[in-house]
Structure 1
């Protein structure tokens, strides 16, 4: 079962985020707090949205998807960017990841969004194979760039 996240899910979402960061070999980079997630998901101006996958038998949360809107100037419509998709190892293969993605795809269809996109680490072959099996295609001609930390601060203050 897939459902929208609720405020009382924040501790579970934070645990999933940390488990995902550990899987991606970047646990030290997972610094979000419960307060930050609560504000982002449920504050006066939500910047992100989340869905929870629950085990059909027990009702226990086994995974989540956290996403936000982007916008295509070429298509003139929003898209959905999937920031995190995670299913606990013991629940993988049970259809939860596909159900989460299907839920997000349905949101795109229902709202007229032009695309659903996400990033995946190059070494994560199991996920890449799974995404390709759904019809997703890698954007090989695009390279993701990111500014963080001191370079972000330097550029942000360069024009002041």
Structure 2
């Protein structure tokens, strides 16, 4: 079995969309997938890419992916890599592909002088948590994820006195 990791190209957009939907099915979140393929393509491969994707293949067949982007640590004064999504198709699990995807991200983080590689995992996903711990990852129990989206995001962004990123 030949395992390979490669950077995604615009031609991979249908594959990426399929893998995202497969991940959502696995996480029991299929109803949360609302992206438009064309918009996703523009955000990944347009003039200002917001994220990157690597594709994991077994014997030339795509079986997984990792979607990631840079964040920044003010305490470290360096960028980091945030892994938004990692997914390996069920039939390819146990092949080493998930580890290879994470290893490639770790190598990119080192190449790019990043301070860290981090991600979130669902509390119920014990197989993934165990897998990540074996690779040296640790739970960040002291942190709680916060999110503002939808109507609340629009409302916050429309607060009086905020225009063009400058306070009144």
TM-score with structure 2 setting the length: 0.92
Contact 1:40 1:48 in 2 (8 A): yes
CA distance in 2, matches of 1:123, 1:43: 35
CA distance in 2, matches of 1:134, 1:100: 12
Decide which of 53, 61, 73 is 1:50's aligned counterpart: 53
CA distance in 2, matches of 1:37, 1:82: 17
Matches within 5 A, 1:1-160: 1-55=4-58, 57=59, 59-159=60-160
Q: How big is the alpha-carbon RMSD for the aligned residues of Structure 1 and Structure 2? A: 0.9
CA distance in 2, matches of 1:121, 1:136: 15
Question: What is the CA-CA distance between 1:28 and the residue it aligns to?
Answer: 1.0
CA distance in 1, matches of 2:99, 2:45: 25
Contact 1:14 1:33 in 2 (8 A): no
CA distance in 2, matches of 1:105, 1:159: 42
CA distance in 2, matches of 1:73, 1:159: 28
Residue by residue, what CA displacement relative to the aligned partner does 1:17-42 show, whole Å, maximum 9, x if unpaired? 00111111111111112212211111
Runs of 4+ in 1 over 4 A off after TM superposition: none
Gaps of 5+ in 2: 162-168
Residue by residue, what CA displacement relative to the aligned partner does 1:38-86 show, whole Å, maximum 9, x if unpaired? 111110111100000011x2x1100000000000111111000000000
Question: What is the CA-CA distance between 1:159 and the residue it aligns to?
Answer: 2.2
Question: What is the CA-CA distance between 1:149 and the residue it aligns to?
Answer: 1.2
